[in-house]
Amino acid sequence: MRNATKVTVSTLGALMGVAGIEHGIGEILQGNIAPSGIMFPSWPGSAFFRIVAGEPAMTIIPNLLVTGILAILFSLIFIAWASLFVQRKYGGLVLILLAMVMLLVGGGIIPPVLGIMIGVLGTRINTQFTWWRAHLSVGLRHFLGEIWPWFFVVCLIAWLLLFPGINLLGYFLGVNDPNLTVILIFFALGSFLLTILSGFASDSSRQPISQSGAID
């Protein structure tokens, strides 16, 4: 089995990067104008994004065209780093910094914030998970490792329901219930947490114990 933590980071990192690109496209289409403020909608007036309030974003750049270009650029870098380089030394920290830049240049709010969380998770890819070995039985770790793929799939579905699922429901079926959005956010975050914990258990069972005595 591949490193469960790495798979989680790479997959969700790519998804958040795509969401950042989507914000950037909306900002570019608004043209060479100044944003209405630090906080602004990426897709103002769009029926497809009405249910999510036009996809809020923030920027420190006083130009939406430049903001959108930078949002796409750093989102692409975020995807590449999460997919190819996050397992390297300081790879998780670099991912955190990239997510912070995305936040400041129009990459949305939720994608960069979750990107920071994904970066923090990325710092745990190469750890030995000694706490898990000390406090969980072999059988329990094996069981959690076996069900990790299911949690991972549920987590992926939950985030896809948030985007583009909720947009599709609003645009084609007229669903516009803020409570549904809140429920889906909690569902996505809860499944993300379960995926992390079961992934740690899986990796703790798979990895050999380090001779250096590294701790998790």
Closest by Cα among 67, 62, 75 to 15: 75
**Does 17 map to a domain?**
yes
Distance (Å, whole) CA 177 – CA 133:
44
Q: Which two tokens stand for residue 15?
A: 């998804």
**Does 214 map to a domain?**
no
At 144 the pLDDT is: 86
Number of Cβ within 10 Å of residue 177's Cβ equals: 12
- Over residues 161-187, the mean pLDDT reads 90
Name the domain count of the chain: 1
**Does 213 map to a domain?**
no
pLDDT at 216 over 70: no
**Does 67 map to a domain?**
yes
pLDDT at 215 over 50: no
**Does 170 map to a domain?**
yes
**Does 48 map to a domain?**
yes
Closest by Cα among 4, 10, 9 to 204: 4
Query: What does pLDDT average to over the chain?
Result: 91
pLDDT digits (tens, 9 = 90+) for 27-55: 999 999 999 999 999 999 999 999 899 99
Closest by Cα among 8, 23, 34, 119 to 73: 23
**Does 212 map to a domain?**
no
Number of Cβ within 10 Å of residue 153's Cβ equals: 12
**Does 50 map to a domain?**
yes
Say if residues 57 and 78 touch (Cβ distance below 8 Å): no
Parent domain of 71: 4-206
- pTM value is 0.90
pLDDT digits (tens, 9 = 90+) for 69-123: 999 999 999 999 999 999 998 999 999 999 999 999 999 999 999 999 999 999 9
